[in-house]
Amino acid sequence: MSRPRALITGAGSGLGRALAHRYARAGYDIAVAELLTERAKTVVDELAAHGGSHFAVEVDVGDDASVEAMRDTVRAHWDGFDVLINNAGVASAGSIADSSLDDWRWVTNIDLFGVVRGMKAFAPMFQTQRRGHVLSTASFAGIAGAPGIASYGVAKAGVVALSEALRGEMALFDVKVSVICPIFFKTNLLETARSPNAKFIGVAAKLMDNAKESADDIADYVFKAQQRGDFMIIPTTTERIRWRVKRWFPELYFRELMKLARKTMARSG
């Protein structure tokens, strides 16, 4: 019996790397897609401990031709696969008044259009094989409506809406779709983050440092939720409660959000 297969973008570090290890432990062969080839190769070497056959593929999800080249490389290795995780992304912060349009274009091109490119590249394959699961990493920022991260939140909200649309389209072909909405956790996402004010990055860094969950914790929750067939995957209990409060009591949610925002900004100095 052949092993299941998963393609994960941004799998050279952070959540992508943790997901690669979690799926490999579960018996999947992994295509480690990453902008930095050496990182991808390092993860492939690590995955050898789990058995199976894994390979690295270079991709810049912000570039049409690069995603198409990734698709062709994957096709050369596999005649199809089971799980696509559009995980690659970047971070941005800053107020709407202060953030540059260049930063908006940068984060939406990678975080939103990068997912569009991944979906478009492989949607025909999933439709033809009439099986599989497409997951995309958004963020609780795409749900929260929090101040100070509008460009990032809008890009991630787009991933949620995009996943909802794809879910409806793929249901006709028996293909499942999920969207992952984690809150801050320990990762290296801020390595390339952009902001007009270093204070916003500092706030994010503190929230990451104080997070109880690691990338491995998030990956484990995502794997189990994907196996259950969940659509909206919110890995942390507090955020699952906040999501429900926002849906049922939006004004209460907003008041509590602003209390938390003021407290967080005050602590950051």
- Annotated catalytic residues are 152
Q: Which residues contact 200 (CB under 8 A, 6 or more apart)?
A: 93, 94, 148, 149
CA–CA gap between residue 78 and residue 125 (Å, rounded): 11
Do residues 121 and 73 lie in contact, with contact meaning Cβ atoms separated by under 8 Å?
no
Beta bridge partners of 259: none
Do residues 200 and 149 lie in contact, with contact meaning Cβ atoms separated by under 8 Å?
yes
Task: Describe the strand order of the beta sheet including 5-9 as a list of residue ranges.
Answer: 55-58, 29-34, 5-9, 83-86, 133-137, 176-180, 232-233
Q: Which residues contact 94 (CB under 8 A, 6 or more apart)?
A: 103, 148, 149, 150, 151, 194, 195, 196, 197, 200
Q: Which residues contact 238 (CB under 8 A, 6 or more apart)?
A: 183
